[in-house]
Amino acid sequence: MKNSDPRALVVRETVSLYEAKTHLSALVERASEGEEIVISKSGKPKARLVPMDDVRASREPGQGAGRWTVRTDFDAPLPAEVLRAFEDPAE
């Protein structure tokens, strides 16, 4: 039951910390569907489990086109002094 607006469904339910630990996976799933879960300890609210907004930047293929190039010799053998540094870093 995914809805298009995750903030449209806000059913606030309070669960104990023990219940939250026991049923965390199910509570996370419910939160992802728009519910808000309040987690309490000793009867006092301590945390809220809420759906995440999509915080990723939208990406479009090709945005970096022309900004960098790969040299034709990028996979050429390394110079001897560089190879030695990898083989014996004490030098």
Bigger pLDDT: 76 or 10?
A: 76
Boundaries of domain holding 21: 12-49
Element (H, E) at 30: helix 24-32
Whether 4 has a pLDDT exceeding 60, the answer reads: no
Listed in sequence order, the residues at least 6 apart from 41 whose beta carbon sits closer than 8 Å to its beta carbon are 16, 17
Domain count of the fold of the chain:
1
CATH of the domain at 44: 3.40.1620
pLDDT in tens, 29-39: 999 888 999 99
Backbone CA torsion sign across 41, 46, 47, 48: positive
pLDDT in tens, 26-76: 999 999 888 999 999 999 999 999 998 877 778 888 888 888 888 999 999
Type of residue at 61: P
Claim: this prediction has a pTM higher than 0.85: no
CA 91 to CA 13: how far, in whole Å?
A: 64
